[in-house]
């Protein structure tokens, strides 16, 4: 452990001397970051994945020039209240930590384009995240969320939304207002039905709904003409809408492990089709 810490200190020292913009301290077994990390005022990219860091030092938010921060696969349970000071960030990766909440001022990170918070223990998210108007990609998969936060509807540039592996049993009608979405993942939740407004997301190219308890798909699903990938396996579907055949760009369709009793009419362009373990 001492060796890894010495190695990290050496890399930080070298980065400070060179006034480097990038620092990589990945897989060093670190349990905490040296306080000296806050001296790297020129730093724009920090890669510190796959360590054992549980807390960030107070000096961490002195890294005001950061635009990319990768802290995946650590043991972070909290973030400093001052985390919002890192307001030049455009990409932030915090997957596979132990976060149970985010600071209220997290919404001050208004430059974020990509925010990945998957595989934590989040049950709620601060309303201030609704101010992240530049956000393009939002990853919230494998947390403990029981509902779709309403502030998401106010993110005008959102194109990719990942919510798989939560506890969401119902989707709001306003989901259909997220018309910029191209990718929507809602697999492995507790969904039993889908709002008809889902079919207003006509820009979707990939839709993942597997591992729920769905008994039907919306009749208007044929409106999603841009879809190339549809994953609805491992549900309770006993039939598919006739309009499914209108998905002219669909290339991948997974409907196995359902309760279909007859072969549905399908789009002609499908390249990968998995329909096994049904009842026909």
Asked if residues 90 and 111 have their Cβ atoms less than 8 Å apart, the reply is yes
- Please write the tens of the pLDDT for every residue from 211-260: 999 999 999 999 999 999 999 999 999 999 999 999 999 999 999 999 99
**Residue 182 corresponds to which tokens in the numbers above?**
């191209």
> What's the distance, Cα to Cα, between the start and end of the chain in Å?
59
Domain shared by 260 and 280, yes or no? yes
Domain shared by 101 and 136, yes or no? yes
Q: Edge-to-edge strand order for the sheet containing 45-47?
A: 22-24, 45-47, 68-70, 91-93, 114-116, 137-139, 160-162, 183-185, 206-208, 229-231, 252-254, 272-274
Q: Residue 71: inside a domain, yes or no?
A: no
Q: Give me the pLDDT at residue 122, please.
A: 98
d(CA 157, CA 203): 13
For 73-97, b/e burial (b = at least 16 CB within 10 A) is bbebebbbeebbbbebbbbbbbbbb
Q: What integer best gives the mean pLDDT of the chain?
A: 96
For the entire predicted model, the pTM comes to 0.96
Q: Residue 103: inside a domain, yes or no?
A: yes
- Please write the tens of the pLDDT for every residue from 43-72: 999 999 999 999 999 999 999 999 999 999
Q: Give residue 227's region: left, alpha or beta (phi > 0; psi -120 to 50).
A: beta
Least confident residue range of 14-18, 194-198, 242-246, 269-273: 14-18
> Helix, strand or coil for residue 198?
helix
Domain shared by 240 and 261, yes or no? yes
Q: Give me the pLDDT at residue 25, please.
A: 95
Q: Give me the pLDDT at residue 16, please.
A: 85
Domain shared by 98 and 173, yes or no? no
- Please write the tens of the pLDDT for every residue from 96-141: 999 999 999 999 999 999 999 999 999 999 999 999 999 999 999 9
Q: Give me the pLDDT at residue 211, please.
A: 98
Q: Is the pLDDT of residue 188 over 70?
A: yes
HSE-CB at 145 with a 13 A cutoff on CA atoms is 30
Residue 103's domain spans which residues? 76-156
Q: Is the pLDDT of residue 145 over 80?
A: yes
Largest CA distance in the chain: 69
Domain CATH code at residue 94: 3.80.10.10
Asked if residues 225 and 205 have their Cβ atoms less than 8 Å apart, the reply is no
Q: Give me the pLDDT at residue 34, please.
A: 85
d(CA 65, CA 21): 9
Cβ neighbors of 18 (< 8 A, separation 6 or more) are none
| Percent above pLDDT 90 for the chain | 90
The total of structural domains in the chain comes to: 3
Q: Give me the pLDDT at residue 176, please.
A: 97
């Amino acid at each position: 452990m001492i060796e890894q810490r010495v190695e990290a200190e050496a890399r930080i020292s070298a980065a400070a001397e060179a006034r480097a913009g990038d620092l990589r301290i990945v897989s060093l077994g670190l349990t905490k970051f040296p306080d000296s990390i806050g001296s790297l005022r020129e730093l724009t990219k920090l890669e510190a994945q796959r360590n054992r860091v549980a807390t960030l030092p107070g000096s961490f938010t002195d890294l005001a020039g950061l635009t990319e921060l990768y802290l995946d696969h650590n043991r972070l349970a909290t973030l400093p209240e001052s985390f919002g000071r890192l307001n030049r960030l455009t990409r932030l990766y915090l997957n596979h930590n132990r976060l149970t909440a985010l600071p209220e001022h997290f919404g001050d990170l208004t430059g974020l384009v990509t925010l990945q918070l998957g595989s934590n223990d989040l049950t709620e998210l601060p309303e201030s995240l609704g101010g992240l108007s530049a956000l393009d990609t939002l990853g919230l998969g494998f947390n403990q969320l029981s509902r779709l936060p309403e502030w998401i509807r106010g993110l005008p540039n959102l194109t990719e939304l990942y919510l798989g592996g939560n506890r969401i049993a119902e989707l709001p009608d306003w989901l259909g207002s997220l018309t910029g979405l191209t990718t929507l993942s809602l697999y492995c939740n507790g969904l039993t039905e889908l709002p008809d407004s889902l079919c207003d997301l006509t820009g979707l190219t990939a839709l993942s709904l597997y591992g729920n308890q769905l008994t039907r798909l919306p009749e208007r699903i044929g409106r999603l003409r841009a879809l190339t990938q549809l994953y609805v396996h491992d549900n309770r579907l006993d039939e598919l809408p006739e309009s499914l055949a209108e998905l002219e760009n669909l290339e991948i369709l997974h409907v196995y492990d359902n309760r279909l009793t007859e072969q549905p009419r399908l789009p002609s362009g499908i390249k990968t089709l998995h329909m096994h373990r049904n009842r026909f």
